[in-house]
Chains A and B, each alone.
Chain A
Amino acid sequence: MASPSLMDSLFQRSLDDIIKGLRHQQSTESTFISKVIEEIRREIKTTDLQTKSTALQKLTYLNSIHSIDMSWASFHAIECISSPAFAHKKIGYLAISQSFNESTPVILLISNQLRKDLNSGNEFEVSLALDCLSRIGTVDLCRDLTSEVFTLMSTSKVFVRKKAVGVVFRLFEKYPDAVRVCFKRLVESLESSDSQILSAVVGVFCELASKDPRSYLPLAPEFYRILVGSRNNWVLIKVLKIFANLAPLEPRLAKRVVEPICDHLRKTGAKSMVFECIRTVATSFTEYESAVKLAAVKIREFLLEDDPNLKYLGLHGLSIMAPKHLWAVLENKDVVIQSLSDEDPNIKLESLCLVMAMVSESNVVEICRVLVNYALKSDLEFCNEILGSILSTCCQNVYEIITDFDWYVSLLGEMSRIPHCQKGEEIENQLIDIGMRVKDVRPELVRVGHHLLIDPALLGNPYLHRMLSAAAWVCGEYVEFSGNPVELLEALLQPRTSLLPSSIRTVYMQSAFKVLFFCVCTYIEQKEDMTLEVSDLTSKGECSESSDLASAKAPVACDQDEGFNPRNSSQSYEDPSVVNGGHGHVSTSAFMEETSFTRESIVKLVNLMELSLCPLSGSYDVEIQERARNALGFIELVKRDILSRLLRKEANSESEDVCASTIVEWLHDAFYEDLGPVSITAQERVLIPDELVLKENLADLEAICGNVELTSSCSFSLRSPYYGESAGVSFSNHQVEEDSEPSTEATSLLTEHRRRHELYYLPSEKNETITTANDYAPATITIANDYPPANYPSSGINTNDDSQDLVTLTNQSLLPKRKPNYAKPRPVVVKLDEGDAAPVTAKKPEVKGDLLSGAIRDILNEAKPASSQSNPSDKSSIKKKGKEKLNVDLSDSKEDLAVREQPNPENPSSRRSKHRGHGKEKSKKSQREEGWGWKGRWW
């Protein structure tokens, strides 16, 4: 063993050798490193500390620069710090600060060595240990070493003392009880005349105050003294940060401090100081008009500088000011707009935020126009930033700032023309949302959607697919507003739709189905209006028509002749029926005047639909397949219907006719009802019935769930062989009844199940009459099934109340409170969830922070009573001294703290209520007569 170790130490490579080696072996760096690591692993095991520490030094270097793991060497690092030689210690401590963390297993082993070094006479060793503790201090280490740090805080060596002060923050953070020991001395240090100590202690208080400012209010006089007295900008900046946290809590403090801050703002030459003053004023002194004005002037100076840093910070300052002092932004509008074309993306983003802050309902149109122009010119990233912020600003508070929805909807449509646009998803959500909320805008919405759909180029851009999906849905849902449903249908069925992902393609198909259905309905209505005129039809035309239809059925067999359909139809268009169908129709919809349907155009549409959907009925995608089959089933039906109408004059198949058009009517009912927005709290509003026992732990339901899945799949497995018809009535009661009838087996299973797990079922006598809560759904579903849906209330009253509530909410005319001085009145925007917005859960500070602030308040509160007690032990007599000294400064302010703490119910220091109560009593009495204690002395 000895010989390799000797060899190692004699021929060991130094760190410099390795760095040089790395520099010259660029190409095979990794092999070189792994070779070196191998050496290190060998060297580090020796007993010779020189060799060991050099190995550790090399490893530390590789870890820091080349991200080589060194956790395996943690024990060796501890060996190095226990070396008597300072050089080894130094290397060991560096390695430990760099690689240890809470989960390092050997971390507790360093506790003793740290204590030894903290007590060392060599101030550099002490400093190494303090630095290390500040980096890796865990709860245990901090607890064990608190007393050592406390002693060091009063050492005469400034070099050590400032580090001890700096370490205190870590102690407090990890081990809040350290406050009881060290806080007095920390406060004393605030009065230190030594600039190094002051700088360290202000740093600590700045961090502490940012976490829990209220506890440090009593120290305000000390900070104030530093604010007016110090000439060190580093310290002043920290004190400003402290006051930015304290001022909002105590108006009188703010009043007192605002003038010195403005003084600094006027006099200082350091830009960092100027900016800190601006930020402090903009965040915490917004009520002081003169201060804000001064800050705005300084911001303006920043904005006019050429330095991009100052410009950025100027804009940043404005955006801090914007929420309360928008005038400051408006005053600098020119610079802000100009910065939109800055070459620095960060500055552009900052100015974009400001532009959006300026948006109001009076200028939203103008600003959006400008921004869209910028978006057209910008690169991809910024373009989408612009679009994103337009979208998010405009939809705030349910489109609060939009008055002209026609404009907004067409703006959304225009966004598709911007080449870089990738905001398809947001646009999709808004298009649908607006469609549901704003009735008046639907015609425009359909027009915009129509334009999007007929543009085949958009189909090639995957980022816009979501948007197209919304357009398709809107056009299908509100097809009655469409000027040209035929073109719409063609657009929805165009061959390039194969470029769409299947989820969106299904939306297209469903919309096409709705459009076709709408056309057929309109046609039937027209027919009924003019049944008399129909008699003019020549029997010859009918014959050719029926033959068309007969042949048109052929495509179902997939290998159809592509050309024959249109051609045959076009022949029949030349016959007189076109003329007959074309005149005298009074359409129900105003939009339909030019496009009223003739039988031929319906047939053409039906054939078009059939032609494009047939190939899809065999699609592997179940959604597509299902929708294609739905539509084909319907087409089948329509054909039969039309055929029968043609034959009716020959007086047969009367019943067939009735059946088909009844189904069409049913379907019409299904599609007729509007879909409305649903409140996010709708589910919560359904009351839980008293009889229902809800178990907290559902683990024992698991076994049952398996059963349920089985049974439910049984009861719904029925597929009607005459698919077309059953699809037609699928929403009505009939099918449910039909379905449940033959599934007696499933029902009996359910009954059995019910018997076994009565607990989880609603009382059976009420089951039969349950109606779903969503009355506004396309069709009401009556559950005749034995199996109750989980959350429906059993009492009908509740259900009705709730759904009525929703309906009224949906229909409510929530006219916004603003003067109707616009040429075009703002349309009704349906809002839900007003007032019951998601409750803002006040984030409770984490336990540790609580402990810390509690401990600090205790210290500051109890100073007086505690100091009157006599304390026997040595250490606490030192503590006592601290306390007494503190008392002199703070005795007056203590009561204040106690009073001000009262409104804070979450104060964790309730166990100190005795002291606080005392303070409260006293100051309650004296508040009016004496005013605030410390105010008298200090303000």
Chain B
Amino acid sequence: MGIRFILMVNKQGQTRLAQYYEWLTLEERRALEGEIVRKCLARNDQQCSFVEHRNYKIVYRRYASLFFLVGVDNDENELAILEFIHLLVETMDRHFGNVCELDIMFHLEKAHFMLEEMVMNGCIVETSKSNILSPIQLMDKTS
């Protein structure tokens, strides 16, 4: 499975994006998000970016007021996931231009599209920024 879910959460703990690659009920999602937010947001910059949670790992990274949290299987490469998060942020940055929390809030659909280009079945399938963005830009043009 590799990646199980990707969350974006702001400093206050409000979810800004949630993408799950395995089916969870709404209650399970809510509980999971609550637990993870409590666990990860309390950590400081001097602590490492990996947290073990239940039977998997969370790799997270903070950009300004936004936390990017990715739940992965235990044998997934933590540093590669950090790279992936960075790639995601760079891609959004290129598309929105200096991306911020509001961009993601108001363009949630686009953020989901980017993720769909990058991740399939929980596997990272695309890592080139232009490849990720070209279909979105084409769609923008046509509509």
Stretch at the interface among A215-223, A306-314, A661-669, A880-888: A306-314
Stretch at the interface among A32-40, A198-206, A636-644, A757-765: A198-206
For A309, list chain B residues within 8 Å (CB).
Answer: 48-50, 78-79, 82
Q: How far is the CA of A199 from the CA of B117 in the complex (A)?
A: 13
With both chains docked as a complex, state the minimum distance between the C-beta of B122 and any C-beta of chain A, in angstroms. 8
- Contact of B83 with A166 in the complex, beta carbons under 8 Å: no
Residue among A87, A135, A204, A233 facing the most chain B CB atoms (10 A cut-off)? A135
Contacts of A308-355 to chain B: CB distance below 8 A:
308-309, 311-313, 343-347
- Contact of A203 with B124 in the complex, beta carbons under 8 Å: yes
Residue among A64, A87, A207, A233 facing the most chain B CB atoms (10 A cut-off)? A64
Q: Does B112 contact A (CB under 8 A)?
A: yes
Contact with B along A291-316 (1 / 0, CB 8 A): 00000000000000000110111000
For B138, list chain A residues within 8 Å (CB).
Answer: 124
Contact with B along A11-33 (1 / 0, CB 8 A): 00000100100000000000000
Q: How far is the CA of A64 from the CA of B104 in the complex (A)?
A: 13
- Contact of A200 with B125 in the complex, beta carbons under 8 Å: yes
With both chains docked as a complex, state the minimum distance between the C-beta of B57 and any C-beta of chain A, in angstroms. 10
Q: How far is the CA of A914 from the CA of B43 in the complex (A)?
A: 60
- Contact of A163 with B109 in the complex, beta carbons under 8 Å: no
With both chains docked as a complex, state the minimum distance between the C-beta of B68 and any C-beta of chain A, in angstroms. 15
Closest to B123 in A: A203
With both chains docked as a complex, state the minimum distance between the C-beta of A412 and any C-beta of chain B, in angstroms. 29
Which of the four size classes fits the interface of chain B?
A: 35 or more
Closest to A344 in B: B47
- Contact of A346 with B121 in the complex, beta carbons under 8 Å: no
Partner of B23, one of A57, A64, A101: A101
Contact with B along A82-107 (1 / 0, CB 8 A): 00001100110010000001100000
With both chains docked as a complex, state the minimum distance between the C-beta of A474 and any C-beta of chain B, in angstroms. 37
Closest to B61 in A: A309
Q: Does B99 contact A (CB under 8 A)?
A: no
For A134, list chain B residues within 8 Å (CB).
Answer: 120-121
- Contact of A343 with B47 in the complex, beta carbons under 8 Å: yes
- Contact of A64 with B18 in the complex, beta carbons under 8 Å: yes
Stretch at the interface among A270-278, A449-457, A741-749, A843-851: A270-278
Closest to A173 in B: B121
Q: Does B64 contact A (CB under 8 A)?
A: no
For A237, list chain B residues within 8 Å (CB).
Answer: 77, 80
Contacts of B5-49 to chain A: CB distance below 8 A:
14-18, 21, 23, 26, 29-30, 43, 46-49
Known interface pairs A67-B30, A163-B120, A346-B51; A271-B1 also in contact (CB < 8 Å)? no
Residue among B51, B52, B108, B120 facing the most chain A CB atoms (10 A cut-off)? B120
For A557, list chain B residues within 8 Å (CB).
Answer: none
Q: Does B55 contact A (CB under 8 A)?
A: no
- Contact of B121 with A65 in the complex, beta carbons under 8 Å: no
Q: Does A414 contact B (CB under 8 A)?
A: no
Known interface pairs A159-B135, A206-B123, A207-B1; A272-B29 also in contact (CB < 8 Å)? no
For B17, list chain A residues within 8 Å (CB).
Answer: 64-65
Closest to B52 in A: A346
Q: How far is the CA of A135 from the CA of B120 in the complex (A)?
A: 8
Q: Does A131 contact B (CB under 8 A)?
A: yes
- Contact of A19 with B50 in the complex, beta carbons under 8 Å: no
Partner of B127, one of A163, A199, A279: A199
- Contact of A308 with B127 in the complex, beta carbons under 8 Å: no
For A776, list chain B residues within 8 Å (CB).
Answer: none
Q: Does A515 contact B (CB under 8 A)?
A: no
Known interface pairs A308-B48, A309-B48; A207-B121 also in contact (CB < 8 Å)? yes
- Contact of A343 with B143 in the complex, beta carbons under 8 Å: no
Q: Does B126 contact A (CB under 8 A)?
A: yes
Q: Does A162 contact B (CB under 8 A)?
A: yes
Determine chain B's interface SS by DSSP, over half rule: mixed
Contacts of B84-143 to chain A: CB distance below 8 A:
105-106, 108-109, 112, 116, 120-121, 123-128, 131, 135, 138-139, 142-143
For A57, list chain B residues within 8 Å (CB).
Answer: 109
Partner of A87, one of B26, B75, B143: B143
- Contact of B18 with A65 in the complex, beta carbons under 8 Å: yes
- Contact of A169 with B109 in the complex, beta carbons under 8 Å: no
- Contact of B48 with A312 in the complex, beta carbons under 8 Å: yes
Q: Does A196 contact B (CB under 8 A)?
A: yes
For B125, list chain A residues within 8 Å (CB).
Answer: 162-163, 166, 196, 199-200, 203
Partner of B108, one of A61, A87, A135, A203: A61
Q: Does A288 contact B (CB under 8 A)?
A: no
For A465, list chain B residues within 8 Å (CB).
Answer: none
Q: How far is the CA of A258 from the CA of B38 in the complex (A)?
A: 42
With both chains docked as a complex, state the minimum distance between the C-beta of B115 and any C-beta of chain A, in angstroms. 10
For B16, list chain A residues within 8 Å (CB).
Answer: 65
Q: How far is the CA of A276 from the CA of B79 in the complex (A)?
A: 9
Q: Does A44 contact B (CB under 8 A)?
A: no
Known interface pairs A124-B138, A312-B48, A343-B47; A234-B124 also in contact (CB < 8 Å)? yes
With both chains docked as a complex, state the minimum distance between the C-beta of B104 and any C-beta of chain A, in angstroms. 10
Q: Does A738 contact B (CB under 8 A)?
A: no
With both chains docked as a complex, state the minimum distance between the C-beta of B7 and any C-beta of chain A, in angstroms. 11
Known interface pairs A272-B80, A309-B82, A347-B48; A94-B109 also in contact (CB < 8 Å)? yes
Q: How far is the CA of A451 from the CA of B132 in the complex (A)?
A: 69
Q: How far is the CA of A166 from the CA of B116 in the complex (A)?
A: 11
Q: How far is the CA of A57 from the CA of B110 in the complex (A)?
A: 12
With both chains docked as a complex, state the minimum distance between the C-beta of A385 and any C-beta of chain B, in angstroms. 13
Closest to A274 in B: B79
For A94, list chain B residues within 8 Å (CB).
Answer: 109, 112
Partner of B121, one of A91, A170, A276, A279: A170
Q: Does A660 contact B (CB under 8 A)?
A: no
Q: Does A69 contact B (CB under 8 A)?
A: yes
Q: Does A923 contact B (CB under 8 A)?
A: no
Known interface pairs A64-B17, A166-B121, A196-B131; A271-B79 also in contact (CB < 8 Å)? yes
- Contact of B135 with A127 in the complex, beta carbons under 8 Å: yes
For A163, list chain B residues within 8 Å (CB).
Answer: 120, 125
- Contact of B109 with A90 in the complex, beta carbons under 8 Å: yes
Known interface pairs A272-B79, A347-B48; A234-B121 also in contact (CB < 8 Å)? no
Contact with B along A169-210 (1 / 0, CB 8 A): 110000000000000000000000000100110011011001
Closest to A232 in B: B127
- Contact of A207 with B123 in the complex, beta carbons under 8 Å: yes
Closest to A234 in B: B127
Partner of B120, one of A91, A131, A346: A131
Partner of A67, one of B29, B108, B124: B29
Known interface pairs A124-B135, A131-B116, A131-B120; A102-B52 also in contact (CB < 8 Å)? no
- Contact of A343 with B46 in the complex, beta carbons under 8 Å: yes
For A64, list chain B residues within 8 Å (CB).
Answer: 15, 17-18, 108
- Contact of B106 with A19 in the complex, beta carbons under 8 Å: yes
Contacts of A120-141 to chain B: CB distance below 8 A:
124, 127, 131, 134-135
Pick 21 A–B contacts, CB within 8 A, sort by A: A67-B26, A67-B29, A69-B26, A124-B135, A134-B120, A134-B121, A159-B135, A162-B125, A166-B123, A199-B124, A199-B125, A199-B126, A203-B2, A203-B124, A275-B78, A275-B79, A308-B47, A309-B48, A309-B79, A309-B82, A344-B48
Which B residues are within 8 Å of any A CB, using their own CB?
1-2, 14-18, 21, 23, 26, 29-30, 43, 46-52, 75, 77-80, 82-83, 105-106, 108-109, 112, 116, 120-121, 123-128, 131, 135, 138-139, 142-143
**8 nearest A-B residue pairs (beta carbon):** A272-B79, A203-B123, A166-B120, A344-B47, A308-B48, A312-B48, A101-B23, A272-B80
